[in-house]
């Protein structure tokens, strides 16, 4: 698959998803029946509670398409600078901005205009001023070298067709000793070939996922140390109603059992690195 094709498919699907999610039935609902939500319902549901987003609109949960809750697992401290890759409607950015406080800063990076518009509207409603949303690609982060304390991301790196470049960019913008702390989809065993080539499966956070070993090796190759992967959720697609999985035979669905998991992935840029 051409990387530009994948990028455009992902961009289109998430633009449609954020447009469709507006006006949904409420926090955490799945009443909007987009092709993306069908493919990812099992992955994106029930990740945030109203307690998690105290002080923010509960409707923001309905516009989060992640596979984890990195802000609940990442260590963030007052005064730090945080970057969220693929920030979507801005939930994790605004949560991070609250945690780093008025002397800290939270950046969100996204390539989809509809997502950025929604994020900026959510920021305005929240009254949070120490956040900023940037337009761009995670393969080419528009921030200087050694400028960020923590990088978070919520089920976005798997969407990139050039993960090596993403991880090298993460390493570049992190300060020496900076932390990589992302939620992402990870494979425990190979996917059926037709899923690997399905663009809807790619946009749905599945086809582009790395194995746990591949993720560890790519982080190490980019220069990171202290790499850890912690499984946070496993998925069973055998009873999925999505058209994506209805194409598979019963045997293929059975083989998918235990193959797809959400993981919290930690790593650190060495303190001596520049």
With beta carbons less than 8 A apart as the criterion, state whether 95 and 125 touch.
no
- In this predicted model, which residue has the larger pLDDT, 69 or 191? 191
Q: Averaging pLDDT over each range in 44-53, 181-190, 216-225, which range is the top one?
A: 216-225
Could you tell me if residue 274 is inside a domain?
Answer: no
Could you tell me if residue 92 is inside a domain?
Answer: yes
The 10 Å Cβ neighbour count of residue 66 is 25
Could you tell me if residue 16 is inside a domain?
Answer: yes
What is the bridge-based pairing of β-strands 260-268 and 81-85? unpaired
What is the rounded average pLDDT of the residues 24-38? Answer: 33
With beta carbons less than 8 A apart as the criterion, state whether 159 and 189 touch.
no
The strand pairing partners of 263, in sequence order, are 184, 231
Could you tell me if residue 253 is inside a domain?
Answer: yes
Q: How confident is the model at residue 192 (pLDDT cuts 50, 70, 90)?
A: confident
pTM of structure = 0.77
What is the rounded average pLDDT of the residues 214-229? Answer: 97
Sign of CA dihedral 168, 141, 206, 51: positive
Q: What is the domain range of residue 47?
A: 3-268
What is the rounded average pLDDT of the residues 15-27? Answer: 47
Q: How far apart are CA 123 and CA 167, in angstroms?
A: 28
Crossing angle between the packed helical segments 113-126 and 91-100, to the nearest 10 degrees: 40
Q: How confident is the model at residue 42 (pLDDT cuts 50, 70, 90)?
A: very low
Averaged pLDDT of the chain = 78
Q: How confident is the model at residue 164 (pLDDT cuts 50, 70, 90)?
A: very high
Could you tell me if residue 273 is inside a domain?
Answer: no
Number of structural domains in the chain: 1
- Determine the pLDDT at residue 135: 96
CATH number of 212's domain: 3.40.50.150
Q: How confident is the model at residue 273 (pLDDT cuts 50, 70, 90)?
A: confident
What is the rounded average pLDDT of the residues 55-79? Answer: 68
- Determine the pLDDT at residue 19: 58
């Amino acid at each position: 698959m051409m990387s530009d094709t994948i990028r455009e498919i992902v961009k289109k699907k998430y633009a449609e998803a954020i447009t469709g999610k507006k006006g949904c039935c409420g926090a955490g609902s799945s009443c909007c029946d987009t092709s993306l939500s069908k493919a990812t319902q099992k992955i994106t549901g029930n990740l945030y509670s109203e307690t998690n987003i105290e002080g923010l609109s509960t409707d923001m949960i309905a516009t989060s398409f992640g596979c984890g809750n990195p802000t609940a697992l990442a260590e963030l401290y007052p005064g730090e600078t945080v970057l969220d890759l693929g920030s979507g409607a801005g939930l994790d950015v605004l949560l991070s901005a609250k945690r780093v406080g008025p002397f800290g800063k939270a950046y969100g990076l996204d390539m989809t205009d509809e997502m950025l518009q929604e994020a900026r509207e959510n920021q305005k409603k929240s009254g949070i001023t120490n956040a900023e949303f940037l337009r761009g690609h995670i393969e080419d982060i528009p921030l200087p070298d050694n400028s960020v304390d923590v990088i978070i991301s919520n089920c976005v790196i798997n969407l990139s067709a050039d993960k090596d470049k993403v991880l090298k960019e993460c390493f570049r913008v992190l300060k020496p000793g900076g932390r990589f702390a992302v939620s992402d989809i990870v494979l425990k065993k190979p996917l059926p070939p037709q899923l690997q080539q399905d663009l809807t499966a790619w946009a749905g956070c599945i086809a582009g996922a790395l194995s746990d070993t591949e993720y560890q090796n790519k982080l190490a190759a980019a220069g990171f140390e202290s790499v850890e992967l912690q499984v946070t959720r496993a998925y069973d697609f055998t009873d999925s109603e999505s058209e994506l999985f209805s194409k598979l035979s019963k045997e293929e669905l059975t083989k998918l059992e235990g193959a797809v998991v959400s993981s919290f992935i930690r790593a650190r840029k060495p303190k001596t690195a520049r």
